[in-house]
A = this chain, B = another copy of it.
Amino acid sequence: MQNGDQEVPSQPRHSDKAAGAYTLAEQIGYLLRQANQRHVAIFTSRMNEKLTTTQWAALVKLRDLQPCSQVNLGRETAMDVATIKGVVDRLAKRNLVRTAPDTTDARRLVLTLTEEGEAAVARNLPVANDISEETLSTLSSAERAMLAELLRKIS
């Protein structure tokens, strides 16, 4: 089978940058996953009381929004309904979040921070700042701002 028409570029139905050069380590998805992994690792090792990144996000956001429905908290923290439910359930079990039916709208579940929840947020805010700081420690001030802007642009 002699091949003679292999290199003829037909109309590109796909973006073929350099045709065939697909390096996993250069793909944006891989880079995002890696960077996120490192951040989570830093977070996990630094955050004292076994709070996950998502749990922390929910607590911090709830502090600003409370009282707040579960779905709304999910929206504000970029979590799926099923995900936010799991997160809230675990936080409620640990007595950091209080849940109560809404007296006005029977569909809603009203969330508030407990005393303990408020305290946990207050106590860990400096830690959270340190975590962000360490994650970005290899970047200059300008680079940090640039990274934040670029991430926002693609979100």
Are the CB atoms of A132 and B29 closer together than 8 Å?
yes
Please classify how large the interface on chain A is, using the bins under 10, 10 to 19, 20 to 34, 35 or more.
Answer: 35 or more
Closest partner residue, chain B, to A150 (CB atom): B147
Are the CB atoms of B126 and A13 closer together than 8 Å?
yes
Q: Is the interface of A mostly helix, strand, loop or mixed?
A: helix
Are the CB atoms of B133 and A29 closer together than 8 Å?
no
Interface segment, A53-61, A84-92, A93-101, A103-111? Answer: A53-61
Q: Does A113 contact B (CB under 8 A)?
A: no
Within 8 A of B (CB), among A38-92: 38-40, 43, 53, 57, 60-61, 77-78
Known: A32-B39, A33-B78, A129-B14. A24 touches B148 (CB 8 A): no
Report how far A38 CA is from B127 CA in the complex, Å: 28
A to B CB contacts below 8 Å, 8 in the list = A14-B126, A14-B129, A24-B60, A28-B136, A32-B39, A136-B154, A147-B147, A147-B150
